[in-house]
Amino acid sequence: MTGSSARLRVNPIACDARGLCAEVFPEMITLDDWGFPIVLDQDVPTGLRSAAEEAIRLCPRLALRLDRRPVRSISAEISGRREPAGPSEG
Amino acid sequence: MGGSQYLWFLSRGSGLVLLVLFSAVVVLGAATRTGSAPGRWPRFAVAELHRTLSLFAVALLVLHVVTAILDPFVTIGWAATLLPFASPYRTLAVSLGTLAVDLGGAVLVTSLVRQRLGQRAWRAVHWLAYLAWPAAFLHSLTAGNDLGLWWVALVEVGSAAAVAAAVLARLFNSDRGGLPGPGPRRPPAGDLPAATARPRARAS
Amino acid sequence: MNTLDRGERVRHDADSPEAGRLPRLLPPRIAGGPAGLTEHIARYGPLPAPGAGALWRERLIAEVGGSGLTGRGGAGFPTAAKLRAVAAGRDAPIVIANGTEGEPASAKDKVLLAREPHLVLDGAVLAAHMVGAAQVIVVVHEAVRELVAAAATERRHARADSVKVKVMTGANRFVGGEASALVNWVAHGIPLPIATPPRISESGLDGRPTLVQNVETLAHVALIARHGARWFRSLGTPTEPGSMLVTLIGALNRPGVYEIGIGTPVRDVLELAAGPAAPLGALLLGGYFGTWADPAAAGPLPLSAEGLSAVGASPGAGLVAALPRDCCGLAETALVTRYLAGESAGQCGPCVFGLDSIAGALEALAAGRSFQPARLRRWLGQAEGRGACHHPDGVVRMVRSALKVFGAEIDRHARGWCCGRRPAGTLLVPPRAAA
């Protein structure tokens, strides 16, 4: 692994609140009040990469992935989040 | 002649242990969907044990098959490892075992490459496990001669009972975390005050 | 002088005195019902004929760009940028006109389609010419489908357009008007949003570059093509030019759909509806995904994105709901939230369970049952930003504003009092359209 940045992301449609990820990677994954994972939106430190990979491997729904993108577009993804589009968009 | 008995004992013995292992794997697999109450094992432990036991079972399977085929007392032939109806000795009984290996093998291989294969394809093949186990179980009943031994019969009955119980639990207690489809479901009870009828607040 | 009543054509040069006047999209007419094609052409002039080649297309897109027109469906995306993105696609593009108006309390798109369908169809056809599409699909609310289909048939008989126009009904779901959900509906009959990549402007319906535009936006395009960017900018503000349609509902003397110049102060907008019918307790600005605001604070603010940002609101889909003081804002919020929770696509846990819990919490607060607001705030934080689309975010924003504006009401409810004398649910009733 190079020193590139990597974020752990949940596919919210695939996720089914099985909870294995939070068991093996509590450093960055906690469960909300309904059992669904809240993943820290931070770079995964190199020391924790193996734990992250274990969580990805163990997910029964393959809902976790490691997003290796340059930091610029990740912050753009966060800050560029538009207002909720209305119900008659256009 | 005396030496070959060991091959036969090894084959039958490993077969029996395999039945127990395979049954445990199926029970653990069904248990991943049957909710974990506090005090039970964490889910990742169930998942990992399921995986570890199945890999161990593969190792034991190799022993079971090789000793059976090498045994000079019966003629099975190497083809019977993967092809049903290839064994002259107890054709149907051995074929059931072959079927279990074929189906179980597909389940295993797809699980090893699950991340590359994708969720849908992996899941579709994994259902074959519920066909592989009955094939293995029927094979254990028909391919050996040991049902007369009380403890062998006990193992057979016990394995079947465990698997049946796990499958029933899976059918009727499927984990409440899942999303059944469009439309909201009530969250687990106890989260909100009960909707009892209370008088509406007075106007000020 | 307004010659519209006599059905004569009005000159709308950018420098003429009529340029900065309303109405533009909804002229008053003597007869009821939709304007027919002949009347439409007599009033607005013929549709500008498409010139040959890319030069005409690019000039018209530049005109739209110069006008500063943005989407009137709620998202406010610059229209020219969208047109360019779709025109740059590799495959043959397609245009989808969005008249589904999934917001139950909003009526502007239905009214526009019911009265000036040809203005919308003009805009859709022009948009098709600009992006190089050969087909337009107009998706409308079922209430106006027949009218719009009749208008399309009229154009077909008159051979008015060189592109195919197809009219269909939209799904009757709140989220059905979201762009990817609309494409999904047209293609597969499933009105659910899909994960964003790839962008619809690159690969939408059938994998083709797809332009999704709100019908009001297209009506503005039709007028810009006739009168130019400068004319368009003679109303509105420099950063948010033009006019927009608003739906005014609630405790007003004449609720309905009106047209305003963007930036008109909120209290003047309410005066269009002949003012409040009762002392007001709160305003809901934008739509069900909008923001609650105190009427005294919001009254002097310009109705624009910039102006309303002072109270954390935005014009959204142009809905302004006036809540009277004797109507319980908590109960209304609970009803709207429960509706929105039911309209979840049901694909993501934090949305399905989160919105359900939040709605339950609001219902408890509204009914005076004890409930910790801190727990509700926690749930709001947990539901936000964790779905595949922005549905939960819109709800969270609206509920947070309700907690702010109705904070005193929550305290009263906790002590067993409520100022509501009317039954809740008045906000969910659709308005009569302006005559």
Option in B177, B185, B202 nearest C416 (CB): B202
* Region C332-355 average pLDDT: 91
Number of domains in chain A: 1
Cα–Cα distance, C397 to C358 (Å, whole number): 12
B5 C-beta neighbours (distance < 10 Å), count: 11
Could you tell me which residues come within 8 angstroms of residue C238 by beta carbon, excluding any fewer than 6 positions away? none
Query: Would you state the structure tokens that stand for residue C207, as one six-digit string?
Result: 């994998």
- A81 band by pLDDT with thresholds 50, 70 and 90: very low
Residue A45 placed within a domain: yes
Examine the pLDDT at B87 and tell me if it is beyond 90. no
Which chains have 3 or more CB–CB distances shorter than 8 Å to chain A? B, C
Number of domains in chain C: 3
Residue B114 placed within a domain: yes
Mark yes or no for CB contact B202/C342 under 8 Å: no
Residue B177 placed within a domain: no
Mark yes or no for CB contact C177/A82 under 8 Å: no
Give the pLDDT confidence score for residue C390 in this predicted structure.
85
- List residues in chain B touching A: CB distance below 8 A: 32, 36, 42-44, 47-48, 114-115, 118-119, 175, 177-179, 187, 191
Give the pLDDT confidence score for residue C431 in this predicted structure.
36
Which domain-ending residue is among C233, C268, C297? Answer: C233
Amino acid at A89: E
Instruction: Indicate if C317 and C333 belong to the same structural domain.
Output: no
Q: Between B176 and C44, where is the model more confident?
A: C44
Cα–Cα distance, C333 to C317 (Å, whole number): 18
Examine the pLDDT at B124 and tell me if it is beyond 90. yes
Residue A89 placed within a domain: no
Cα–Cα distance, C321 to C292 (Å, whole number): 9
Q: Between C137 and B2, where is the model more confident?
A: C137
Residue A87 placed within a domain: no
Q: What is the CATH number of the domain that holds C263?
A: 3.10.20.600
* Percent of residues, chain B, with pLDDT higher than 90: 53
- B39 band by pLDDT with thresholds 50, 70 and 90: low
Query: Would you state the structure tokens that stand for residue C257, as one six-digit string?
Result: 């759909």
- C225 band by pLDDT with thresholds 50, 70 and 90: very high
Instruction: Indicate if C192 and C45 belong to the same structural domain.
Output: yes
Query: Would you state the structure tokens that stand for residue C10, as one six-digit string?
Result: 């009005």
Q: Determine the Cα angle at C159 with ends C155 and C165, to 5°.
A: 55
Examine the pLDDT at B44 and tell me if it is beyond 70. yes
Residue A71 placed within a domain: yes
- B204 band by pLDDT with thresholds 50, 70 and 90: very low
Instruction: Indicate if C56 and C133 belong to the same structural domain.
Output: yes
Residue C434 placed within a domain: no
Q: What is the CATH number of the domain that holds A59?
A: 3.30.70.20
Instruction: Indicate if C227 and C190 belong to the same structural domain.
Output: yes
Which residue is closest to C361 within chain B, CA to CA? B192
Examine the pLDDT at B38 and tell me if it is beyond 70. no
The predicted-structure confidence for B3-24, as pLDDT tens digits, reads as follows 668 888 899 999 999 999 999 9
Domain that holds residue C344: 329-428
Give the pLDDT confidence score for residue C12 in this predicted structure.
56
- B65 band by pLDDT with thresholds 50, 70 and 90: very high
Examine the pLDDT at C414 and tell me if it is beyond 60. yes
Cis peptide before C23 (omega within 30 of 0): yes
Residue A2 placed within a domain: no
The predicted-structure confidence for C69-88, as pLDDT tens digits, reads as follows 999 998 889 999 999 999 99
The kind and range of the H/E element at B44 are helix B43-70
Which domain-ending residue is among C296, C324, C352? Answer: C324
Residue C367 placed within a domain: yes
Residue B37 placed within a domain: yes
Cα–Cα distance, C39 to C135 (Å, whole number): 25
Instruction: Indicate if C151 and C19 belong to the same structural domain.
Output: yes
Query: Would you state the structure tokens that stand for residue A89, as one six-digit string?
Result: 């968009």
CB C233 within 8 A of CB C15: no
Q: What are phi and psi of B12, to 5 degrees?
A: -65, -45
Residue C435 placed within a domain: no
The sign of the dihedral angle between the CA atoms of C176, C177, C178, C182 is: positive
Residue B23 placed within a domain: yes
Full-model pTM: 0.82
Q: What is the CATH number of the domain that holds C91?
A: 3.40.50.11540
Cα–Cα distance, A16 to A35 (Å, whole number): 9
Query: Would you state the structure tokens that stand for residue C118, as one six-digit string?
Result: 């040809």
Cα–Cα distance, C380 to C359 (Å, whole number): 11
Residue B20 placed within a domain: yes
Residue C368 placed within a domain: yes
Examine the pLDDT at C424 and tell me if it is beyond 80. no
B8 C-beta neighbours (distance < 10 Å), count: 16
In angstroms, what separates the C-alpha of B56 from chain A's closest C-alpha? 19
Number of domains in chain B: 1
Cβ-Cβ pairs closer than 8 A, A with B, add up to 36
Residue A21 placed within a domain: yes
Q: Return the minimum-mean-pLDDT range out of A7-11, B19-23, B32-36, B119-123.
A: B32-36
Examine the pLDDT at B134 and tell me if it is beyond 50. yes
Residue A58 placed within a domain: yes
Give the pLDDT confidence score for residue C48 in this predicted structure.
84
Residue B56's nearest CA partner among B27, B14, B98, B97 is B14
* Region B152-163 average pLDDT: 94
Domain that holds residue B68: 2-172
Q: Which residues of C touch B192 (CB under 8 A)?
A: 357, 360-361, 364, 371
Note the ipTM here. 0.80
Domain that holds residue A25: 7-79
Examine the pLDDT at B137 and tell me if it is beyond 80. yes
Give the pLDDT confidence score for residue C428 in this predicted structure.
61
Which domain-ending residue is among C270, C297, C324? Answer: C324
* Percent of residues, chain B, with pLDDT higher than 70: 79
* Region A78-89 average pLDDT: 48
Residue B128 placed within a domain: yes
* First CA to last CA distance, chain B: 101
Mark yes or no for CB contact C350/A36 under 8 Å: yes
Give the pLDDT confidence score for residue A77 in this predicted structure.
43
C253 C-beta neighbours (distance < 10 Å), count: 12
Instruction: Indicate if C266 and C356 belong to the same structural domain.
Output: no
| Per-window interface: A 17-76 vs C, CB < 8 A | 17, 32-36, 38
